[in-house]
Structure 1
Amino acid sequence: MDTPTLLTHLETHDTALTLPRGGALRWDDADLHRHAHANDAEGYALLGLAPAARTWQRARVLLQILAASQARLDARERATAARVARVLSLGLPPAHVITVLLALRRLRANHKHTTRAALRFVLEHPDADALIAARRPALLDCFEHALGTATARGCARRIAAGETASDYLRRRLLRFLTEPAAVSAAVPARVRALYTTDHQARHTATAALAGHDPVLPLDAARERPATITATNRGDIAATLVHLYRGGPAEELYVALGRCVGAAAAAFPRFDGTVALVLDASASMRGYGDREWALLSQAAALRMVLSQVCARLEVVEVGGDERAPRGATDLATGVLDALGADPDLVAVVSDGYENLFPGDLARVVASLPRAGVATPVVFCHALFTGSDDLRPRRPAPSLPQRGFWHQDDFAELLPWMFGHCRAGAPWLRAALHARLDALDRQADGLTTGLAA
């Protein structure tokens, strides 16, 4: 699986899945998702939780893991897929999940894991009552597809007659439901609601669910200041700016160590070697209100990587972090970095190559012909997320990504490490940790209902 390409696709392509009446499912990147799933089913499922993945791309991941057979997967891979499906079912807007379930019906996907996911969404979602009231016909279709029409209606008839835990219901319906008793007790009422028409309740619920948010936020809220300054770009960079400007060194160094440790603790250990080409030229210092903004953010990344990576080799070009000066010679920096035999070379710069313009592009183009296979990536230090990068792309052929805030590291590091072979275990570990955290939050939603 080409992880960087797939990650970029998940983060940029947000075309909706559509189900034209009487037509085929419109899924413009289906081949990409099917190939990625076939190549590494567990890794593909985990990438659906990657920070910054678009909502409709996560819906596609949910659709693919529910539509595909699990016959060739081992127990661990099946468990991961089930957990990801649960998290995505709770973390996506309900309308997106309903589209996925209807798409499964259109695709005639009827695996056991498909049945479990569909029934748990229809009958055990925290907002199931409101969803049934608002989207009863669609959820009835999903319910009947999951069980089969005859079986679904047989269960509904028995529930209408007063059965709640008969052997028939246990074998045909209840065995797929695994939530606590307080939720399961609501299942008969929800099945009855699926087969009851109440236009007034539907109208009221539809209005209430307009713009309904997911019950499980998949991404943490990010700081977006109305006015961006040199000191509101994350705690590490802010502390460095105060330090560079002559603040009380002893206090600031203590705070800096605390901030860097907290940021690095969010990531697993990377067992490979990263060579960081750090632009410390005069342009990185900036001036006026932007003085030290870019260099402090680049230094923050360097400090976090120093704690995350087993080995970090830093090659400064121009001056150094405390005394940026001179012109930018990124090409020589890359060549020096390659001498450390790293798994990955990461260039961190504002993009102004002003010593030998075009030199980096020429060196990068010559590396494969010289037998150098070490991946090289370019990390743009930005002042805001909307900076104009057109005059700041010294090597357009390099994979490039910008960052302006400490929160961007959550997306930047997976993208960086995804380019090298040694990064595959790191990325899997990071996404597993993310899945564990989201799974615990999902358990909390269930506990709240049971209480």
Structure 2
Amino acid sequence: MDISPLLQHFRTHDTPLVLSRGGDLAWDDAELHRSAGDIEGYALLALVPGVLPWQRARVLLRTLADSQDGLDDRTRAILAKTTKALMFGLPPAHVITVLLALRRLRANHKHVTRAVLAFVLEHPDAGELIEARRPALADCFEHALGKATARACARLIAEGDTGSGYLRRSLLRFTSDPATAIEWVRALYAPGTHGAVAPQEPPAPLDPVGEHTPIVTPTNRGDIAATLVHLYRGGPAAELRPALAGYVAEATRGLPRLPGNVAMVLDTSGSMRGYGEREWAVMSQAVALRLVLDQVCDRLTVIETGNDAAAPGPAVGAGTHGPDAVAGAVAGEPRPAGATDLASGLLDALEGRPDLVVVVTDGYENLLPGDLARAVASLPRAGITTPVVLCQATFTRGDDLALRDPAPALPHQPFWHQDDFAGLLPWTFAHCAPGHDWIKAAMLTRLEGGRT
């Protein structure tokens, strides 16, 4: 499974799933989803921050619709946790569309039964959802158990049966809280008003929720960058460096290591410094990404590309990570100066035969404009297939990048806040061979609650 284009599709294709009144399902990229192999990796890819809700709904649909025959217990457990995270992390209307589509597709697997009953009877907003979407949820409930069995269970509950053998075998064995399940089945078949307002926000958002202030400054774009700004401004290094190491450790806590060789071309030209109220903002964010990559990658080589840049940073290998490594990485913080020469930095980076080259820049290329694009275009003709990605450091999410695209052919992704790293790292690593396993491991950590 080539995860790089698949992840890009997940983050850009926002067409909704549409289920017509006649039951026809409009799913314009069904073949792409069905052709994705490695069902475990495919499902976990939906948890990457930045994946669009309707794409996550498609992953939920395919994961539930497919048979799990032949899968081992570990994989089934991962798929069960992933589908539950998606069901409770997506807008409820998206999930109901998926469940009705499963009914239309006649998907009757046991994992579908468990998933449908978990959504209908265990959702934190079950009461409001039943009031708002009673007919749809009743259809889903009857599809999960079978119409005759579902209605028999509802009749027994209405008659006061809360624990007969039939009820336990047919319904309660699929639920984690039988008493609550009985309450919601009673509500599902009780007279009520259809058309109430359903909850719009999921109870467990899949993407990290950042606390961004309305006014952006160089020091409210994440703790790592803020500390670096204070260092650049001449703050007390004896106090700031230990704090910086702590913030980097917190940002990378629980993340797996990438067993590969990554080269980073770091733009240290004069434009990276900025001016006025934006001074040091972009440079500090770029260096923050460098420090995070340093802790995550087994081997990171940094090539600084300012006209007056220091010599290329040393390769950082296994065993040099931790607070001392962070302190060493910023001991001679790059002081932006001169013009941008990204093409030379790229060629220097490729000499080490890395698994991936990450170009980090603000996008201004003013030494030889277009040189990076020409260098990138020449790589295939030279037999060089190393993946190269462009990460653009910006001041805000809304920066105009129309005149800041030095290599349009390169995959590129902007970032402006430390919170963006949660989605930026998987997107970056998806372009290299070791990245597939890294993304699976990172999303499993999120799924197990190791990171929020």
CA shift in 2, pair 1:323/1:101, >3 Å: same
Secondary structure of 1:437's aligned partner: coil
Pick the aligned partner of 1:403 from 411, 415, 426.
Answer: 415
Secondary structure of 1:233's aligned partner: coil
Pick the aligned partner of 1:76 from 41, 64, 74.
Answer: 74
Pick the aligned partner of 2:203 from 171, 194, 215.
Answer: 215
Structure 2 contact 49–208 (Cα < 8 Å) conserved: no
Q: CA deviation at 1:289?
A: 1.3
Provide the C-alpha distance between the structure 2 equivalents of 1:259 and 1:155, rounded to a whole number of angstroms.
Answer: 54
Pick the aligned partner of 2:168 from 167, 170, 185.
Answer: 170
Q: CA deviation at 1:98?
A: 1.4
* RMSD between aligned residues: 1.8
Provide the C-alpha distance between the structure 2 equivalents of 1:62 and 1:227, rounded to a whole number of angstroms.
Answer: 37
User: Counterpart of 1:417?
Assistant: 429
Q: CA deviation at 1:278?
A: 0.5
Q: TM-score scaled by structure 2?
A: 0.90
Provide the C-alpha distance between the structure 2 equivalents of 1:86 and 1:238, rounded to a whole number of angstroms.
Answer: 37
Provide the C-alpha distance between the structure 1 equivalents of 2:334 and 2:160, rounded to a whole number of angstroms.
Answer: 76
Further displaced range: 151-160 or 289-298 = 151-160
Provide the C-alpha distance between the structure 2 equivalents of 1:186 and 1:245, rounded to a whole number of angstroms.
Answer: 58
**Is residue 2:323 matched to residue 1:323?**
no
Q: CA deviation at 1:351?
A: 1.3
Q: CA deviation at 1:339?
A: 1.1
Provide the C-alpha distance between the structure 2 equivalents of 1:323 and 1:174, rounded to a whole number of angstroms.
Answer: 65
Secondary structure of 2:364's aligned partner: coil
Structure 1 contact 244–322 (Cα < 8 Å) conserved: no
Pick the aligned partner of 2:189 from 184, 195, 200.
Answer: 195
User: Counterpart of 2:244?
Assistant: 256
User: Counterpart of 2:94?
Assistant: 96
Further displaced range: 43-52 or 315-324 = 315-324
Q: CA deviation at 1:213?
A: 2.3
Amino acid at match of 2:285: Q
Choose between structure 1 and 2: higher helix proportion: 1
Structure 2 contact 354–386 (Cα < 8 Å) conserved: yes
**Is residue 2:231 matched to residue 1:233?**
no
Unaligned runs of 5+ in 2: 311-332
Provide the C-alpha distance between the structure 2 equivalents of 1:332 and 1:340, rounded to a whole number of angstroms.
Answer: 14
User: Counterpart of 2:31?
Assistant: 31
Amino acid at match of 2:262: V
User: Counterpart of 2:394?
Assistant: 382
Secondary structure of 2:263's aligned partner: strand
Structure 2 contact 45–439 (Cα < 8 Å) conserved: no
Provide the C-alpha distance between the structure 1 equivalents of 2:214 and 2:125, rounded to a whole number of angstroms.
Answer: 34
Amino acid at match of 2:131: A
Provide the C-alpha distance between the structure 1 equivalents of 2:192 and 2:228, rounded to a whole number of angstroms.
Answer: 61
Structure 2 contact 364–406 (Cα < 8 Å) conserved: yes
User: Counterpart of 2:39?
Assistant: 41
Q: CA deviation at 1:435?
A: 0.6
Provide the C-alpha distance between the structure 2 equivalents of 1:428 and 1:11, rounded to a whole number of angstroms.
Answer: 17
Structure 1 contact 377–398 (Cα < 8 Å) conserved: yes
Q: CA deviation at 1:217?
A: 2.3
User: Counterpart of 2:114?
Assistant: 116
User: Counterpart of 1:3?
Assistant: 3
Amino acid at match of 1:306: D
Secondary structure of 2:228's aligned partner: helix
Provide the C-alpha distance between the structure 2 equivalents of 1:405 and 1:126, rounded to a whole number of angstroms.
Answer: 31
Pick the aligned partner of 2:302 from 306, 314, 324.
Answer: 314
Pick the aligned partner of 2:291 from 303, 321, 332.
Answer: 303
Unaligned runs of 5+ in 1: 442-451
Amino acid at match of 1:117: A
Q: CA deviation at 1:23?
A: 4.2
Provide the C-alpha distance between the structure 2 equivalents of 1:250 and 1:143, rounded to a whole number of angstroms.
Answer: 62
Provide the C-alpha distance between the structure 2 equivalents of 1:248 and 1:159, rounded to a whole number of angstroms.
Answer: 69
Provide the C-alpha distance between the structure 2 equivalents of 1:189 and 1:324, rounded to a whole number of angstroms.
Answer: 64
User: Counterpart of 1:345?
Assistant: 357
Structure 1 contact 46–431 (Cα < 8 Å) conserved: yes
Provide the C-alpha distance between the structure 2 equivalents of 1:74 and 1:266, rounded to a whole number of angstroms.
Answer: 26
User: Counterpart of 1:15?
Assistant: 15
Amino acid at match of 1:422: P
Secondary structure of 1:345's aligned partner: strand
Further displaced range: 8-17 or 356-365 = 8-17
Secondary structure of 1:154's aligned partner: helix
Secondary structure of 1:314's aligned partner: strand
Q: CA deviation at 1:161?
A: 3.2
State the aligned residue count: 428
Provide the C-alpha distance between the structure 2 equivalents of 1:9 and 1:422, rounded to a whole number of angstroms.
Answer: 20
Further displaced range: 345-354 or 88-97 = 88-97
Provide the C-alpha distance between the structure 2 equivalents of 1:302 and 1:84, rounded to a whole number of angstroms.
Answer: 31
Amino acid at match of 1:11: R
Amino acid at match of 2:431: H
Provide the C-alpha distance between the structure 2 equivalents of 1:152 and 1:279, rounded to a whole number of angstroms.
Answer: 63
Structure 2 contact 270–338 (Cα < 8 Å) conserved: yes
Q: CA deviation at 1:195?
A: 2.3
Identity among equivalent pairs (%): 64
Amino acid at match of 1:8: Q
Further displaced range: 160-169 or 347-356 = 160-169
User: Counterpart of 1:52?
Assistant: 50
Structure 2 contact 262–299 (Cα < 8 Å) conserved: yes
